[in-house]
Each structure stands twice: as structure tokens, then as C-alpha cells.
Amino acid sequence: YLGGLIDVNMSEISFDEIQQLFSKDLDIKPGGHWKPKDCKPRWKVAILIPFRNRHEHLPIFFRHLIPMLQKQRLEFAFYVVEQAGTQPFNRAMLFNVGFKEAMKDAVWDCIIFHDVDHLPENDRNYYGCGEMPRHFAAKLDKYMYILPYNEFFGGVSGLTVEQFKKINGFPNAFWGWGGEDDDLWNRVHYAGYNVTRPEGDLGKYKSIPHHHRGEVQFLGRYKLLRYSRERQYIDGLNNLIYTPKVLVRRLYKNITVNLIPELAPVRDY
């Protein structure tokens, strides 16, 4: 089944073509929910994808990931968490929203936080969780397949539902690009966990090239990171209020939220 290195096809494909491609697979239920028929899956995995304006990436992502996860005999579904409004992109807050929405479906025990432009190069990079939080995307092509720094926790990570609740999720205060995955690294360690990574070449990923301008950098991140510990239990899953628009599509559940700072008030620390 699992052959190791897999071809990463980054050619553009339309959503209609993707629907066609998977239309014959009647085992994929609405929302992209699939489970193996020939065994009991070891993990039930919700894959959360933070999203804004990357419409050409989604079909490429599904074309690549669905067959790999099926081969890994996991139960899985996809949640695309889309940020509306004009505020800077808040990847971490979108993950918290996605987690809360996925929990309403009440089947999951493993959550994978997955950037839409990251495609695994090895199908033996097993998308289940473990005793410790997992950093799947250890070797990115854009970093010459070297870990940029030891505490790097970006791109693709996975925690059990229990682990994610214990650390109070992601911080909500990171508006714009950068820092939120470093804060997650801190939270994980303050809660007594270590981070594991795939061995050798298993953690290799390719990133889909972008056609448009990236997000603004978040310059306040260093100050927030200095106070990671103080903020951990006052900013996260427990101070988040939001109103989602949920749409169940064939291959994923789309959750749209208009994010503003007032949705995650933080008391002084």
C-alpha cells in the first residue's frame, strides 16, 4: 500500500474536475468524511485548513491528500476555515474556530492543523496522533529541507483532542503572519509535552507557489511570545466567541467567520 515517496502534482485543476475525480468514490460522504471498510481506523482525524483567497490551492490539496489518507486507513474529514472581513489573517484563531466546529461532529480524536499549500512527499508520513504532539512538516522544500530552527512548529502539526484542550488551543492574538506556531510550541512545552517529528525523509513537504501577495507580517509577535506562559490560559479556546457560516460541500465542510479582535477579549496579565 504505502510506497514511500509519492509524486507531488502541483498542476492547477478546477473544482469541477476534482468533483469528477472523486465522484466515483461513493464512500466519501459529504464534508469529505471517509472511513475504511476493511479495518477499524487507528485514528479519527479532523484536518483543519485555515483559508483566505487561495482558491487555486484547494483542489490541488485534495487531489494529493485524499488518496494518501485513504491508503493510511485513517478515518478523516476536512474543515476549511475561511476568514472573511478585512482584518489581517489570523491563522491561529481560525484553527480554534475549526476545532470547536469539528468537535460538534463528535467523532474525532486527532486534529491536524494543515496549511493548504503544504503537500507531503512521502505517504509513510502517517497522519495519526500520538502520546506527544506531532510536527509533520519537518523538512520543507522552501527551507532547503532543513529545519529552520529547533522550535519550528509550522506548516502541519497534529495534536489529540485531549492535548489541544489541555494547552487551551492556539492563541487568538496573532494578527498577520508569524509567531502563532512558536506560541503553540511554548504552550505544548509548558503543559509538559514534547514535540515528535517524522524520521529522515518522511517529513518532506513541497509548497505550492503563490500567485499573489502574502499576508502582512505581525510585528507585535515578539512581545506576545515573551508572555506566552502568562497568556496561555486566558487566551485560546476559552475566550473565543464567534458566529460561523457553515456549508457542507462534497469534499469538505466550509466554515466562514468574520474575525475581529473583540471576539477574543483578553484580561490583563
CATH label of the domain that carries residue 248: 3.90.550.10
Residue 268 falls inside a structural domain: no
**C-alpha grid cell, residue 193:** 509535552
According to DSSP, the β-strands at 110-114 and 134-135 are: unpaired
- How far is C-alpha 107 from the chain's CA centre? 17
pLDDT at residue number 213 = 65
pLDDT of residue 264: 87
Q: Is residue 262 part of a domain?
A: no
Residue 89 lies in a domain: yes
Chain mean position to CA 246: 18
- Compute the C-alpha angle 260/264/266, nearest 5°: 130
Task: Tell me what pLDDT residue 269 has.
Answer: 61
The answer as to whether 8 is a domain residue is no
Count up the domains in the chain and report the number. Answer: 1
Nearest residue to 123 (alpha-carbon basis) of 8, 254, 2: 2
Do the domain assignments include residue 263?
Answer: no
Report the candidate in 177, 162, 186, 176 with the shortest Cα–Cα distance to residue 235: 186
Q: What is the pLDDT of residue 215?
A: 75
Inside any domain, residue 33 = yes
Q: Using CA atoms, how far apart are residues 176 and 132, in angstroms rounded to an integer?
A: 28
How confident is the model at residue 132, as a pLDDT?
98
Range of the domain at 83: 15-257
Kindly give the confidence (pLDDT) of every residue in the chain, 269 residues in length, as a single tens digit, with 9 standing for 90 and above.
788 999 999 999 999 999 999 988 889 999 999 999 999 999 999 999 999 988 899 999 999 999 999 999 999 999 999 999 999 999 999 999 999 999 999 789 999 999 999 999 999 999 999 999 999 999 999 999 999 999 999 999 999 999 999 999 999 999 998 899 999 999 999 999 999 999 999 999 999 988 766 778 888 899 999 999 999 999 999 999 999 999 999 999 999 999 998 888 887 66
State the Cα–Cα distance between residues 71 and 205, nearest whole angstrom.
Answer: 18
Torsional sign, CA 174, 182, 132, 145: positive
141 is a domain residue: yes
Within-domain flag for 21 = yes
Could you write out the DSSP letters of every residue in 51-84?
A: ESS-TTHHHHHHHHHHHHHHHTT-EEEEEEEEEE
Query: Residue 119: what pLDDT?
Result: 98
